Structure 1
């Protein structure tokens, strides 16, 4: 069996279904400490199995093991969502009671759904790319931003929210999601993008165009300006802004910001301290040629915003959110249009950078100058 091939990790990830059912039937799974220990044992056993079967055809990229293990946990998260929303039963009841009860919140359910669908597909894509020696940098950067944003909101929200007194030993199972993505991110950033090398003349021509000659970039700058205002405004809401406009907005459009689970407040603060500065420098990146970092970081933040907005917007209308904290029916469309536009704008920015990267390339200009000197 050659696990580096796409079929191997996919089949291995599906073993999460019988493993969850088996552990759920064990009487010892009612003890919080035992649950945490079982989680560690299962992950270690999975790594051993991966390493053993990969010996015949070892992967060239060590991130194969990270993505394979995380694909297994993605299936677990999908099982949690399916069970908690009543589609299946008898798989993860033990874990929700004595493992991580805060996953029963609207936010917890939606990050499980995102991990069990979007992240799972990304893992399978990257595993297939590794097996075939293909470039997966753009997908890897999107995944990196998505997973890190999920953890930056989820972990602090668990501690400071209403479930802060129900932290169990199983909380430590989230530690790999903090450290492994950082290591993976360093490796992914070092890779080259998949787009071909552009002729120097094309790069120079693209970078000589003024901003008014690039209508898409003008539209993106307008989006970034609006996003800066919106991000700052919601950050102030999370800090209990006393202005009448803040009070009106919270009660008429986003009452979920008052939810005692605290995930929404943490998300707004993360946006204000991390996303807001990036939105500002992105305007600079669209005005000044040669900002090569735009090709990487726009994709990272696109993944971060896609995940976080899915969780936040979904939680604002999800049936597990108390009715008083859901979006009022009379402002439902305004809320959705605003948040969808806020999310899609960042995706469009990342797409523009990767689809037409010549404006952001720097090395090719130096190559032209050196060529002139040689002549």
Structure 2
């Protein structure tokens, strides 16, 4: 019986559970080099099996194979986080010891949770879209932002942090996770945009409105100003500050000056990045693996949660606004000024 490409990718992703369980019981998995070769071999073997399963009707989009492999490692990451928090045992102990020990940190555990849930869902959505020949441009951009910020933060933090002396050969397995998203991002960005069916008159009418006639945008402008100040205030998270503050400035400009066609894409990418960053920041700040002196004090947990959740939620709502109501950001031919004034008023 022929297996569909999407079904094959899904089933292979679930094979991460028995494979990790069996590898954990191999006595030879006590050497960093053995763990590196075993992990690389599993990923290459997965690609080969996937290719053979879909050889009759191979997907035209090469990103299918990348997303299929990434969905496998997402399940691995979920197993890692569940095992580190004590919900299961006997699966990934060998890898955390001789592969990537920095994943035992609170931040590493939270990144694994995110990868094993949100990224996994995004991979399955994009795999399904590829097999059905649907567009996944917006989902792909959201994944791209989330993926890149998680990698940048984790890898830089590992190199300069306390785990910098515990880097094993398996650290090299992160190289494809840096290069492939860059390649994927270029392909996704070049996909055709789904533009609304509107006339140049409608675009001009929307773009002629002053801010007081766009109350929702006024709310978002207030959010962006507060979010920028909030980011600078907690500037000790330098990575976040250096990429978020410029984004807030560009988003403010895009909400004020009409015709910024890059605005919907930019907000989607940063919505993914901010969602991932805030999830990891909130979780790691409360996780028992974090040293007590760096955890959020109990008496301010509520205000900490409200501030950080609203910070993340604002970025998601801004992206939704820009994608679903994009008239203000489109370039169109202006109509006669007198006629435009009549229509607006």
Matched, 1:330 2:299: yes
Structure 2 counterpart of 1:372: none
In structure 2, relative to structure 1, the CA distance for the partners of 1:202 and 1:196 (3 Å cut) is: same
Q: RMSD in angstroms over aligned alpha carbons?
A: 1.5
Q: Distance in 2 between matches of 1:338 and 1:221?
A: 17
Is the contact between residue 285 and residue 291 of structure 1 (CA under 8 Å) also seen in structure 2?
yes
Which of 323, 326, 332 is matched with 1:357 structurally? Answer: 326
- CA-to-aligned-CA distance 1:190-223 (integer Å, 9 cap, x gap): 1123353323222121111111110010010111
Assess, with a 3 A threshold, how the Cα gap between structure 1 residues 181 and 41 changes in structure 2: closer, same or farther: same
**Are 2:242 and 1:306 aligned?**
no
Q: For the residues of structure 2 that align with 1:2 and 1:302, how far apart are their CA atoms?
A: 39
Q: Which runs of 5+ in 2 are unaligned?
A: 337-345
TM-score (norm 1): 0.87
Number of the residue aligned with 1:259:
none
1:121 aligns with 121
Aligned to 1:243: none
Cα distance in 2 between the residues matched to 1:4 and 1:67? 15
Residues 348-373 of structure 1 show CA distances to partners (whole Å, capped at 9, x for unaligned) of 110110110111011x438x89xxxx
Aligned pairs (5 A) from 1:125-274: 125-235=125-235, 238=236, 268-274=237-243
Instruction: Give the structure 2 partner of residue 296 of structure 1.
Output: 265
Match of 2:343 in 1: none
Determine the structure 1 residue equivalent to 2:65.
65
Contact preservation (8 Å) 1:141, 1:299: yes
Do structure 1's residue 111 and structure 2's residue 80 form an aligned pair? no
Give the TM-score normalised by the residue count of structure 2: 0.94
Residue 263 (structure 1) aligns with: none
> Deviation at 1:146?
0.3
Q: Is the 8 A contact 1:309 1:339 kept in 2?
A: yes
- Distance in 2 between residues matched to 1:231 and 1:85, nearest whole Å: 30
Deviation of 1:6 (Å): 2.5
Gapped runs of 5+ residues in structure 1? 239-267, 370-375
Q: Does the 8 Å contact 2:141/2:188 carry over to 1?
A: yes
SS in 1 for 2:49: helix
- CA apart distance, 1:322: 2.0
Checking the alignment, whether the CA contact within 8 Å between 2:264 and 2:326 is kept in structure 1 is yes
Could you tell me how far 1:3 is from its partner in structure 2? 5.8
SS in 2 for 1:29: coil
- Determine the C-alpha separation between the residues in 2 that align with 1:151 and 1:234: 21
- How far apart are the structure 2 equivalents of 1:278 and 1:4? 41
Alignment: residue pair count: 336
Superposed, 1:34-49 pairs within 5 Å as: 34-49=34-49
The answer (yes or no) to whether the contact 2:231–2:245 under 8 Å persists in 1 is yes
CA distance in 1, matches of 2:296, 2:93: 30
